[in-house]
Amino acid sequence: MLNILVVDDSAVMRSMVIRTLKMSGVPLGSIHQASNGREGLDVLEGNWIDLLLVDLNMPVMTGEEMIDHLRARQDTADLPILVISTEGSQTRIEAIRSKGASFIHKPFTPEDLGNTIRDLTGVSGHEQHDGGFDPSSGLDF
């Protein structure tokens, strides 16, 4: 079971990411939310998090600034991080990957998200939540 922190300044996007997580087949524990990198760091202080899903462009503290902060700390240096963004600059995406974070483009499907998380974390669970995911449903977030 993965405890996940979703960091995005858009409440709608956080809800869509969480809904997609529930359809992805990834074994889920607690799901926490934050609206920027600073709030995300506060959530990390008080909760055990196995995986961070973070947007790049946010006010107060960007996703990239949050990644830099986490990588500089011994207790979070190896935290699996998945950046979920519309970022189109290959240079910026490569810079994110060089910091040990994975990257997935918006929009994405539950299958894309689940496979990326399984690759990143090594979890093998394929549990279905909320009635399971039907790939033919056409859902694409």
For residue 40, the domain's CATH number is: 3.40.50.2300
pLDDT of 85 strictly over 50: yes
Q: Is residue 74 part of a domain?
A: yes
What's the pLDDT band for 126 if we cut at 50, 70, 90?
low
16 part of a folded domain: yes
Radius of gyration in angstroms for the set of CA atoms belonging to the chain, rounded to a whole number: 14
Count of residues making up the chain: 141
Question: What is the C-alpha to C-alpha distance for residues 81 and 29, in angstroms, rounded to an integer?
Answer: 17
Residue 84 has pLDDT above 50, yes or no: yes
Q: Is residue 12 part of a domain?
A: yes
Task: Please report whether residue 114 resides in a domain.
Answer: no
Chain mean pLDDT for the chain:
88
Q: Which residue has the tokens 């926490």?
A: 32
Structural domain including 101 reads 1-50+69-85+96-108
Cβ-based neighbours of 141, under 8 Å, separated by 6 or more: 16, 17, 19, 20, 106, 107, 108, 109, 110
| pLDDT over 50 (residue 134) | no
Q: Could you read off the pLDDT of 3-49 as tens digits, one per residue? A: 999 999 999 999 999 999 999 999 999 999 999 999 999 999 999 99
Q: Is residue 57 part of a domain?
A: no
Q: Kindly indicate the confidence band of residue 117, based on its pLDDT and cuts at 50, 70 and 90.
A: very high
Provide the number of structural domains found in the chain. Answer: 1
Segments in the chain forming alpha helices (H)? 11-23, 37-46, 63-72, 90-98, 110-121
**In a domain? residue 5:** yes
pLDDT digits (tens, 9 = 90+) for 62-74: 999 999 999 999 9
